[in-house]
Structure 1
């Protein structure tokens, strides 16, 4: 109400906050995490040893030159070597290494300068490879390496983010136009959500100087920020308009909206932020960055919806309905229609709650069943972009011709004296050894059979760690650690398995306690946790079926990659536990309002769900649309995140909230409510169990 009475201060203060955050954050720039910070376990320690010693591996590149016949590659390889050397950006160009059949050769070289900035300098090399490929008929060139992959990835991420922004925002606006039938009312949530994201981007950039971030953190923030920001404003605005339609004056309607939907937004926002904070317990900097980003954007969106939004509503008054679109119909008719549809669904559910509770539970468990066989790994770049992507084709062709070439294991050996006879003798048992005498560090490259991530590669890595290295360096006093892409993936997954337990315990306990404080009912609190777990399980099952087994993957332009991205299960668990509270708190709050007025439980359930049907449908449609946009992006992890979240929200807002929640609450009856609130139902409601 302070905001409503101090409109100018609230609006100008919000704008200044957004502008200052954006400008200062943009000037500071974002700091990305290093390779060692992104990892865990021995592989991260190995990378950190090299970095601390100033021995960070240069950005290596591989170019496969293949011809139609044996030795047909030689002229192209000779021209390629000369062309890449002329760029002045490469060093240590090795002579072409022929394959066993003589029809292919591998050219190895490194980018000059710091590996972290190699992607910014690799374009002349890419041009040289492309020009050589065009100049030689009957010969194909395929390039794969750190610099070229990061350059390709950066360009792709930039294109994908533009696609997400230019698709998700119009989709959200279109859904809001349908929900409200007026341009101004539809624009308010979108504008507030976008400004909240802008402010969060700036503050996150500042924070990244202390907590370094993963490259996709901004995408995750935008995804959550747009969905949550629009939903919070939608809930608040819908309740204010409903109260105005019921005949209340502007200030009374705003006060009621603040006391009901405003309170629900605060509870929901607090729940989301506390759930997100569980990611700090994972032991991985990746999730700490995700936690910080999502907490920031949810906090700002929540504050905007209960400060600047009331100020704008008080200033606009009836002008919030400006820009009415007649072809969308009258607002109150749309709200009544949503309630009528919800009432039609609820009649059989409340008439036979046991049947519908078991049926909906069976559907959710069936969808969750594939999750029992879920496999996780850190998907390499060759799996992130589909089998037809140039990066994937290059990786596969190089791996076929030279197994272990693109992604060998990197062994880091440290000792008090790396030149000691025992250590030198142990190093002599390996082929690709680089000794840094002044740093007392040695690096060994060990090619792994298989494609770098399959069962053969994993067995070879386990054998290397458990047998070959201990046997070779036994008694030397050296410390031996294994890094490389596969080792990093294995260590990352091991840490996730350890970290997911405290995260899971934390968010379930926090959700239970928050619902207990909010509704004063341990039954509702426990039901909230169980329903969330069912939604998450269904999301896991669908993700596994689509992306691990390929069922229906072609419908969204994806394909089976045999595994789920390693960080996805924990991230989806935390985000869904937070976001599902939007609907749950909003719906159950209206059910409790009706019950507190004297309605019996079935009538309160029906009234609460019918009155919130329009807002929940609109909010769910926006979230599903935003998440679905990310399912159409190029990267496999973005697709998995988009599908997992979209499916879970869709199920949560339909099957769970419209069938399982009402049927479960109906079966529990008066046990839903604290004993002091178990009021005797009024006779009029008793005669109409369904409340319709």
Structure 2
């Protein structure tokens, strides 16, 4: 079916602000009540902003645990009955390079100062000095001072961060002092990664501004996403501070909230502004400028505004699946992102139309010279013309283009079939950090499994049986009774393998089967193992919900089973390809030299679940932007080919511009020093890049082209069940 070039220009919109749906009425109200909207948002931002400065100091550094696990139950018993000498306790490693600890007066003075510093901290319950045969190495040159936890895990991470510097300063020429243990490891991990992410965010801002100016074509329009981002970020930060009064919230919540506030602020502003400009052009002959702007706002909110609302719901639903993981850190980070999404959405649906209504044609103020076009030209120009020609090419060669895209996605996704996951090893912490140096010293002095010593709790009558079981287990190198309480007996069991090794996890599972009923196996290694297990168990459920709920939301929004199915399947394709690339890089170690990281031999366990949910939300954003535009033009004309090409021409530029900003931001994280930001940056950047270029601008248009009218077919019985949703004004 051939169509003339003129048929692919933007249709003339009817003049006047005809009453539309709820979104249209909300847009008109906001545009005609600018002062009320501005005052309202100033009050909101001011109220939440008053709490925002506290966000760095009140958010927690721990919480990476399965709260319902056996290891956390063991931690609670140890905190109550054994002075907190468990997984959250601090370990201070003293190493003498010239003499034995007990024969060197300098080492003894250092240990005395360490003991005094620890006792002065109210978060320390007890201090256990080095004991021969237990916490002093065979050569006598390495000793460990134990500090029991008198506070919860989050407070102990903060204590480790605050004590690290003063304790390291106690080192002398031949005696070194290193603070380690699980709390210190998390403190160092948070510190170096948080600093790296802040540097990356600072580096990304100039790139973001350049891309925004190029995408919007004017300085005034380019500032609108920043307005939404600021409103969303300040509101989310203040809300996170308030949320800490209910439950601990991870410090990473703020970083991810910032990322999503920026990403969604750009996405939503682009979609709304592009549509607003088109609506203004459609009313170029309207003499009343104010009425023209108001009508453009009404049309924009009735179409693009509705798509943004559905998009945000899909993002929230995608993120909510992560709440199924019973980990405070996972839930805290998810809460931060969801708060940012809600805040940015609220600003997009109220503040943005209010500002657009006042700006009107001044939206193009500060137009960049190369982006300037004739005032009344309604034909495609610039990037829109390129996308129109791209749509024409897909129209002529859909099978070839689609086949090549699917082949490339399949090739990139293939390594994911050999994906292995695991909890982060000590290698993710830079060698310069105290926690890693102390970890290595303990492993060298006491054996590779010593940093992951297990805390085994048994009922007192079962102690002899437990000691025999531990002593005979092939995965346990040493057994040491550590104390007896009224109801429990505590035994320390040192594995033969490193804390993050799969063999250590197997030993933990074996001991839980063979120890007397009611026994508890805890310790930092057991906590990591339990978190890894619950993540692995919940990942299929999370992805099942992502698929099912994503399909349902697309079906309700677009009214087409085929299009909804295609949208969900293509989402999974880009995610699978991104994790295929991650497997090749981070698991197999390719490009480790160029990217300057030490491969672990696996991808971090939380990656598929957490990043998968994030990417599903972003992909659904692009899916709805593209397909809602196609739905709108199909409803207007009944021409599926026209609808596909118009969706590419109008929404394709939004997808490309938004993806360009997100890829630029994520790639700055890939350049950060530590491994965790690199892994996150590469996975997210590759996924967004592939999703925008191959999936949304190639595979989905090809599906619409091949399916034709069938793409938008809705069975009569299903139409009676689904609510009626239209994207036309």
**Range of TM-score over shorter length:** 0.7 to 0.9
**Structure 2 counterpart of 1:385:** 429
CA distance in 2, matches of 1:617, 1:509: 27
Shift of 1:126: 3.9
> 1:364 and 1:479, CA in 2 relative to 1: closer, same or farther beyond 3 A?
same
Q: 1:550 maps to what in 2?
A: 589
The answer as to whether partners of 2:217 and 2:372 remain within 8 angstroms in 1 is yes
Q: Kindly provide the CA deviation profile for residues 24-47 of structure 1, in whole angstroms up to 9, marking residues without a partner as x.
A: 566797464875964442212222
Instruction: Note the alpha carbon deviations across 1:567-622, whole angstroms, 9 max, x for none.
Output: 22111222222111221111112222332333633332122202223222111112
Q: How many angstroms apart in 2 are the aligned matches of 1:23 and 1:335?
A: 46
- 1:405 and 2:450 aligned: yes
Paired residue for 1:502?
541
CA 1:325–1:147: 2 relative to 1, 3 Å: same
Give the whole-Å Cα distance in 1 for the aligned partners of 2:104 and 2:380: 73
Match of 1:81 among 106, 111, 114: 111
Deviates more, 1:362-371 or 1:145-154: 145-154
Q: Tell me whether 1:47 sits opposite 2:75 in the alignment.
A: yes
113 and 636 in structure 1: CA distance in 2 versus 1, 3 angstrom threshold: same
Counterpart residue number, 1:56:
84
Counterpart secondary structure, 2:381: helix
Structure 1 counterpart of 2:512: 465
Q: Hey, what's the Cα distance between the residues in 2 that align with 1:405 and 1:435?
A: 18
Of 342, 345, 361, the residue aligned with 1:302 is 345
Q: Is the 8 A contact 1:79 1:132 kept in 2?
A: no
Unaligned runs of at least 5 residues, structure 1: 678-692
> After superposition, where does 1:531-680 map in structure 2 within 5 Å?
531-598=570-637, 600-674=639-713
| Structure 1 partner of 2:287 | none
Corresponding position of 1:443? 490
Q: 1:639 to 1:616 in 2, by over 3 A?
A: same
* Higher mean displacement: 118-127 or 518-527: 118-127
Give the conservation status (yes or no) of the 8 Å contact 1:353–1:666. yes
Matched residue, 1:423: 463
Deviation at 1:330, TM superposition (A): 5.5
- Structure-2 separation of matches of 1:358 and 1:344: 19
**Offset at residue 529 of structure 1 (A):** 0.8
Q: Please state if 1:288 is matched with 2:331.
A: yes
Aligned residues: 658
Q: Distance in 1 between matches of 2:402 and 2:164?
A: 62
Question: Does 2:303 match 1:260?
Answer: yes
CA positional deviation for 1:256: 1.9
Partner of 2:396: 351
Q: Kindly provide the CA deviation profile for residues 476-531 of structure 1, in whole angstroms up to 9, marking residues without a partner as x.
A: xx621111233222222222233223322222121111111122110001101110
Q: TM-score, normalised by structure 2?
A: 0.82
**1:252-297 CA-partner distances (Å, limit 9, x unpaired):** 2222211221111011111111222222334444443343332222
Aligned to 1:242: 278
Does the 8 Å CA contact 1:68/1:103 hold for their aligned counterparts?
no
State how far apart, in whole Å, the 2-side matches of 1:36 and 1:518 are: 36
What is the alpha-carbon distance in structure 2 between the residues aligned to residue 346 and residue 76 of structure 1? 77
RMSD in angstroms over aligned alpha carbons?
3.3
User: TM-score, normalized by length of structure 1?
Assistant: 0.86
How much has 1:230 moved relative to structure 2? 2.0
Aligned equivalent of 1:4: 31
- Give the distance between the partners of 1:562 and 1:623, measured in 2 at CA: 28
Residue deviations 1:404-424, cap 9 Å, x none? Answer: 2222112122x3xx3x4x536
| 1:618-672, Cα deviation, whole Å (9 max, x unpaired) | 1111222232333334443333222212211111110111221122222222210
CA distance in 2, matches of 1:210, 1:174: 41
CA distance in 2, matches of 1:201, 1:391: 30
Deviation at 1:199, TM superposition (A): 0.4
In structure 1, distance between residues paired with 2:58 and 2:608? 26
Query: Structure 1, residues 185-217: CA drift from partner, whole Å, max 9, x if none?
Result: 111111211221110122233233334323322
Greater shift, 55-64 or 20-29, is seen at 20-29
Matched, 1:342 2:342: no
What's the counterpart of residue 213 of structure 2?
177
SS at match of 1:451: coil
Deviation at 1:69, TM superposition (A): 9.0
Alpha-carbon separation, structure 1, partners of 2:184 and 2:103: 22
Question: Whole-Å Cα distance in 2 between the matches of residues 94 and 145 of structure 1?
Answer: 15
Tell which deviates more after alignment, 423-432 or 77-86. Answer: 423-432
Secondary structure, aligned partner of 1:562 = coil
Conserved in 2, the CA contact under 8 Å of 1:189 and 1:233?
A: yes
Relative to structure 1, is the Cα distance of residues 171 and 72 closer, same or farther in structure 2, using a 3 angstrom cutoff? farther
Distance 1:69 1:350 in 2: 80
Residue 18 (structure 1) aligned with residue 18 (structure 2): no
Decide which moves more: 300-309 or 568-577. 568-577
Residues 627, 643 of structure 1: 8 Å contact kept: yes
- Following superposition, the deviation at residue 173 of structure 1 comes to 2.3
- Partners of 1:290 and 1:88 lie apart in 2 by 31
Q: How does 1:15-414 map to 2 (within 5 A)?
A: 15-24=42-51, 30=58, 32=60, 38-51=66-79, 55-57=83-85, 59-63=89-93, 65=95, 67=97, 74=104, 77-87=107-117, 89=119, 91-95=127-131, 99=137, 102=139, 104-110=141-147, 113-114=150-151, 116=153, 117-118=155-156, 123=162, 126-133=165-172, 135-136=173-174, 142-146=178-182, 148-248=184-284, 249-326=292-369, 336-380=381-425, 382-386=426-430, 391-403=435-447, 404-413=449-458
Could you say if the C-alpha distance between residues 347 and 412 of structure 1 is closer, same or farther in structure 2, counting changes exceeding 3 Å?
Answer: same
1:370–1:541 Cα contact (<8 Å) kept: yes
Distance 1:427 1:142 in 2: 32
User: C-alpha displacement at 1:427, in angstroms?
Assistant: 4.8
CA distance in structure 2 between the partners assigned to 1:556 and 1:327 by the alignment: 36
Greater shift in the superposed pair: 569-578 or 635-644: 635-644
SS of structure 2 residue aligned to 1:597: helix
Distance 1:625 1:398 in 2: 41
Distance 1:532 1:272 in 2: 13
- Could you tell me which residue of structure 2 aligns to residue 484 of structure 1? 523
Change (3 A) 1:112 1:358: closer
Moved more, 498-507 or 327-336: 327-336
* Superposed CA offset, 1:81-140 (max 9, x none): 24424535472221576645x38523333268546545555556644534524x23xx76
CA contact (8 A) 1:264 1:585 kept: yes
Structure 2 equivalent of residue 432 of structure 1: 480
- Structure 1 distance, partners of 2:176, 2:247, is 43
**Structure 2 residue matching 1:447: 3-state secondary structure:** strand
What secondary structure does 1:307 align onto? helix
Contact 2:83/2:149, CA 8 A, preserved across alignment: no
Q: Does structure 2 retain, via aligned residues, the 8 Å contact 1:35–1:44?
A: no
What secondary structure does 1:110 align onto? strand
1:284 and 1:22, CA in 2 relative to 1: closer, same or farther beyond 3 A?
same
